[in-house]
């Protein structure tokens, strides 16, 4: 799927050295407006209340939905090979809104 679009045409994607190492993030903050979704990937250290946005990705609503479906498909593949991913016992332990309101992008 990553190398073909809807018409079956091949696309060429390169991965530059500056991006290939990736960035570590253990929190994603998602906000949206009527025309875009903004995903901020944050590195938040345990016991520290201040994090740093390491990367921001801005998507159209259509691409956000495609990302959701692709993540769902890949999580199912992962779990079929490695077993179910265990979530936190108490999801309230995670700061989910961090002072932001829904849709403030």
Across the chain, which distance is largest between two alpha carbons, in Å? 49
Which pLDDT score, from 0 to 100, does residue 95 have?
54
Encode pLDDT of 11-48 as tens digits: 999 999 999 999 999 999 999 999 999 999 999 988 88
- Which H/E stretch holds residue 39? strand 37-43
Closest CA to 38 of 29, 50, 49, 47: 29
Which pLDDT score, from 0 to 100, does residue 33 have?
97
Encode pLDDT of 78-104 as tens digits: 999 999 999 876 655 555 555 555 554
Contacts 24+ apart (CB under 8 A), 47-51: 51/27
Closest CA to 63 of 98, 91, 96, 38: 38
């Amino acid at each position: 799927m990553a190398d073909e679009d809807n018409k079956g045409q091949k696309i060429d994607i390169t991965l530059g050295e500056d991006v290939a190492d990736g960035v570590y993030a253990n929190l994603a903050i998602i906000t949206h407006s009527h025309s875009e979704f903004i995903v901020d990937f944050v590195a938040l250290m345990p016991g520290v209340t201040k994090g740093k946005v390491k990367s921001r990705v801005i998507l159209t609503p259509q691409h956000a939905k495609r990302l959701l479906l692709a993540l769902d498909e890949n999580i199912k593949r992962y779990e079929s090979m490695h077993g179910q991913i265990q979530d936190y016992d108490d999801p309230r332990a995670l700061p989910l809104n961090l002072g932001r309101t829904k849709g403030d992008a």
